[in-house]
Amino acid sequence: MPASTLTAAVLPPLHLGRLTIESPVVLAPMAGITNRAFRRLCRDYASAGGTGASALYVSEMITARALVERNALTMRLIEHDPGESPRSTQLYGVDPVTTAAAVRILVAEDRADHIDLNFGCPVPKVTRKGGGGALPWKRDLFRSIVAAAVREAAPYDVPVTVKMRMGIDAEHLTYLDAGRIAEGVGAAGVALHARTVSQAYSGDAHWSAIARLKEAVRTIPVLGNGDIWSAEDAVQMARETGCDGVVVGRGCLGRPWLFADLAAAFAGRPERVTPDLGEVAATLRRHAAYLVDFYADELKGCRDIRKHIAWYLKGFPAGSNLRHHLATVDSLAALDELIAELDPAAPWPGAPAEGQRGRAGHPRHVVLPEGWLDSPELTPAQAALVAQAEDDSSGG
């Protein structure tokens, strides 16, 4: 894409309450991915890029109940590196009281500078109890949860944002009402994954919905999410929708340097990171070391890096036998031996390394509580069920 075209699509810094995000880009929370190690790697690339502009890197999702009960895994997931700023945490809750208590912990104990509320989870075990992406259908419950979080965070000047989907399916869209409600109760911004719950990650994201949300929500930033596989995709989304920033998820899998690309693109600069295989292998090795540090356990860190191997090597020449051994690595020494078998001079493969990453899946029927769609009002029986849509664990 010509530099002149990019310049025309430049976005200013993103303002979320008191926070200014120089590069209007947010790392989407991804279970088992956006831990402290991966966030650090993304920040490394962004800070080393030509612009040096910082993005907002959100933690893995944690549940309000798990935080209130101070679950050990959850307490580790909300940890941030000493130099990580702003510290961003995504919270999932289905009850205003528990959500308020969880937010109170984060802000009163100075554990977060930004809180994002998750209302987009499409996992069947969550939606069948009325949680996740199904919850905004119950407007009063949605309003109460967001208002409770904003109320607790406000005295500490910590902005609260909302991430959601378009709705349950094409016949039951909720995003416009949810956006207006979030704006009305004081949220600092809203992000839309432009798919329905029934789509999960299949098909194409409906960027036109982001544009409609931008028209409906006038006083706070609107962020777009879905099918951003490159910096050019992000610029195109901004141009087509008028969004104030973008949220990037699967597009950065095995490509933490995407945040340097995005910073350059939104600054109107044409340069892109196109690493050769030697640079990619060095990044993979650094990621593994960060994971070992995160877990304080070499075996756990090496087991975690396994799922990233295919993403890092996408499009590069590496035999199936080597890929197999890399995907079963159990120590940093073993990883070093295998990396040594790669050709460090192999150039960036271009198109074969681009495009979709992660599983897309297929559209599906959304399992909901009985009578869930009959009314936007919550019945006592549904209230009892939705309380079970949040357990005491986090990261999933």
Q: Please state the separation of Cα 216 from the chain's center in Å.
A: 23
Q: List the Cα angle 38/44/50 in 5-degree steps.
A: 140
How many other β-carbons are positioned within 10 Å of the β-carbon of residue 396? 15
State the angle between helix axes of 277-295 and 332-339 in degrees (0 to 180), rounded to the nearest 10. Answer: 180
Cβ atoms of 68 and 105 closer than 8 Å: yes
Q: How far apart are CA 117 and CA 124, in angstroms?
A: 19
CA dihedral of residues 122, 112, 223, 41 (deg, nearest 10): -90
Give the DSSP letter string of 17-50: TTEEESS-EEEPP-TTTSSHHHHHHHHHHHHHSS
Sign of CA dihedral 53, 34, 75, 89: positive
CA dihedral of residues 228, 279, 350, 230 (deg, nearest 10): 10
State the angle between helix axes of 207-216 and 231-241 in degrees (0 to 180), rounded to the nearest 10. Answer: 50
| Residue among 229, 253, 363, 230 nearest 307 (CA) | 253
Cα–Cα distances (Å) from 352 to 50, 341, 347, in that order, read 25, 21, 12
Name 206's Cβ contacts closer than 8 Å, sequence gap at least 6: 166, 194, 195, 226
Residue located via tokens 């271009």: 350
| Residue among 85, 20, 60, 30 nearest 248 (CA) | 30
Residue located via tokens 């060095």: 282
Catalytic residues: 121
CA dihedral of residues 303, 305, 310, 311 (deg, nearest 10): 150
